[in-house]
């Protein structure tokens, strides 16, 4: 059974009690947001006269996303289990990059939907990070980076060959957000001048561009700029594993805006510096990257570009045009 505060369906006393436990210190806005993004279901025989979370023996993370969001949901589910003392966690699995069974401290993670599990089950997507609400005591203080580094990725990071210190990797998002005109808040991508600025910061002997198929207008003029400077150049229009290998090999990385790079950067043993545009750096801070050995250099494109392109991205012609025409005088590095 599912419940939704927004739809006015919180009438079942079981779920009413559960939500009271999960979000007892949250604001009404937080409650509505959590319920909208991540409705919860309970399966089993619960005694409503006792705290419900103490009766849950296993958690099921239900959604199968693609890499970045999938790992984010799994990390949220692990944090939830650590907060509540639940030891078993089932999830859809990702055999191409994660082991089917592994342990993160006291939490046993395994592939499955909970079928055949003994005891009561709590099911949720964990797209919404409940730990950010500080709703359960003791709170899980471990970061996204901390937990990623404890997960059993099927990648031999120790044997990943690092690129030369004079090689720059650039990840460009070029697919979904350049299709259609739906507003995607905070998903506007960096302008051309951001890339040419970083390419001019030092003498890069080699540049590796990693990009999806798509319409990002910065790709072609950026490649022309690379050739004009006489740099060795490689373009990767990759499948997933090619992308992951390239990111894990990078010493110096220019990042796009999106969730894909976060887990790859978290488990990299080679990454030394990262170039970030606008307030997407805040995501890295929240994930725990500020406590890592990675040196972040942050750039801004001015308040007008942030408002018109980054925050309210809708793939409109004038937004695409501004990505190419933003003047270097608008670009600044943040201390």
Mean pLDDT of 9-31: 62
Whole-number pLDDT of residue 51: 85
Is 70 exceeded by the pLDDT of residue 328? yes
The alpha carbon of 162 is separated from its chain's Cα centroid by a whole number of angstroms, namely 23
Whole-number pLDDT of residue 35: 64
Whole-number pLDDT of residue 177: 83
What would the two tokens of residue 197 be? 């600025």
pTM of the model: 0.86
Is 90 exceeded by the pLDDT of residue 318? yes
Whole-number pLDDT of residue 12: 54
- Domains along the sequence of the chain with CATH: 13-148 (no CATH), 160-330 (3.40.50)
**Which one has a higher pLDDT value, 208 or 280?**
208
pLDDT tens digit sequence for 50-105: 888 889 999 999 877 788 989 998 998 999 899 889 999 999 998 888 999 999 99
Distance of CA 78 to CAs 2, 71, 75, 247, 278, Å?
Answer: 21, 10, 5, 25, 30
Whole-number pLDDT of residue 5: 35
Whole-number pLDDT of residue 6: 33
When pLDDT is cut at 50, 70 and 90, the band that residue 176 belongs to is confident
Whole-number pLDDT of residue 212: 79
Mean pLDDT of 307-323: 93
Mean pLDDT of the chain: 84
Is 50 exceeded by the pLDDT of residue 136? no
Mean pLDDT of 223-232: 95
Contacts of 18 (CB under 8 A, 6+ apart): 40, 42, 52, 53, 122
Four-CA torsion 262, 264, 267, 272, nearest 10 degrees: -80
- Measured over all CA atoms, what is the biggest interatomic distance in the chain, rounded to whole angstroms? 73
**Which one has a higher pLDDT value, 208 or 160?**
208
Is 80 exceeded by the pLDDT of residue 167? yes
Strand 41-43 vs strand 56-61: parallel, antiparallel, or unpaired? unpaired
How far apart (Å, rounded) are the C-alpha atoms in residues 226 and 219? 11
CB 334 within 8 A of CB 299: yes
Alpha carbons within 13 A on the beta-carbon side of 300: 11
Whole-number pLDDT of residue 128: 65
**Which one has a higher pLDDT value, 130 or 318?**
318
Mean pLDDT of 134-156: 78
Distance of CA 225 to CAs 171, 193, 197, 200, Å?
Answer: 16, 11, 11, 10
Whole-number pLDDT of residue 7: 37
How far apart (Å, rounded) are the C-alpha atoms in residues 305 and 294? 27
Phi and psi at residue 129, to the nearest 5°: -80, 95
Element (DSSP H or E) covering residue 16: helix 13-22
How far apart (Å, rounded) are the C-alpha atoms in residues 107 and 116? 18
**Which one has a higher pLDDT value, 140 or 121?**
121
**Which one has a higher pLDDT value, 24 or 209?**
209
**Which one has a higher pLDDT value, 156 or 147?**
147
Mean pLDDT of 257-282: 91
Backbone torsion region of residue 52, taken as left when φ is above 0, otherwise alpha when ψ lies between -120 and 50, otherwise beta: alpha
When pLDDT is cut at 50, 70 and 90, the band that residue 227 belongs to is very high
CB 250 within 8 A of CB 169: yes
Four-CA torsion 58, 59, 60, 66, nearest 10 degrees: -140
Distance of CA 268 to CAs 74, 171, 253, 326, Å?
Answer: 18, 15, 11, 33
**Which one has a higher pLDDT value, 146 or 281?**
146
DSSP string across 24-82: TT--HHHHHHHHHH---EEES---TTS-SGGGEEEEEE-----HHHHHHHHHHHHHHHH
Whole-number pLDDT of residue 4: 36
Alpha carbons within 13 A on the beta-carbon side of 328: 5
Is 70 exceeded by the pLDDT of residue 29? no
Is 50 exceeded by the pLDDT of residue 10? no
Mean pLDDT of 31-56: 79
Mean pLDDT of 278-290: 88
Is 90 exceeded by the pLDDT of residue 16? no
Alpha carbons within 13 A on the beta-carbon side of 44: 24
What would the two tokens of residue 182 be? 């739906």
């Amino acid at each position: 059974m599912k419940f939704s505060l927004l739809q006015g369906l919180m009438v079942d006393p079981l779920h009413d009690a559960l939500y009271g436990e999960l979000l007892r210190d949250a604001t009404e806005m937080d409650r509505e947001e959590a319920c909208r993004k991540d409705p919860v279901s309970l399966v089993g025989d619960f005694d409503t006269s006792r705290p419900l979370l103490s009766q849950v023996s296993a958690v099921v993370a239900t959604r199968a996303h693609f890499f970045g969001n999938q790992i984010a949901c799994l990390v949220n589910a692990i944090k939830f289990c650590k907060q509540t003392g639940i030891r078993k966690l089932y999830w859809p699995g990702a055999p191409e990059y994660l082991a089917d069974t592994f342990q993160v401290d006291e939490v046993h993670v395994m592939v499955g939907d909970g079928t055949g599990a003994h005891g009561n089950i709590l099911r949720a997507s964990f797209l919404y990070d409940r730990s950010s609400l500080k709703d359960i005591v003791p709170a899980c203080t471990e970061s996204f980076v901390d937990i990623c580094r404890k997960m059993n990725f099927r990648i031999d990071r120790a044997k990943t060959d690092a690129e030369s210190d004079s090689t720059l990797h650039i990840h460009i998002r070029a697919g979904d957000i350049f299709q259609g005109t739906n507003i995607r808040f905070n998903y506007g991508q960096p302008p051309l001048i951001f890339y040419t600025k970083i390419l001019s910061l030092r003498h890069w002997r080699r540049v590796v561009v990693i990009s999806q198929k798509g319409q990002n207008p910065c790709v072609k003029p950026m490649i022309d700029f690379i050739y004009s400077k006489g740099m060795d150049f490689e373009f990767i229009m990759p499948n997933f594993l090619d992308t992951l290998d390239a990111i894990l090999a990078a010493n110096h990385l220019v990042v796009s805006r999106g969730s894909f790079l976060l887990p790859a950067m978290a488990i990299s043993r080679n990454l030394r510096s990262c170039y970030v545009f606008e307030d997407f750096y805040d995501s890295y801070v929240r994930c725990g990257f500020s406590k890592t050995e990675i040196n972040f250099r942050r750039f801004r494109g001015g308040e007008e570009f942030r408002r018109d392109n980054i925050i309210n991205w809708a793939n409109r012609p004038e937004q695409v045009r501004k990505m190419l025409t933003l003047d270097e005088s608008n670009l600044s590095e943040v201390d």
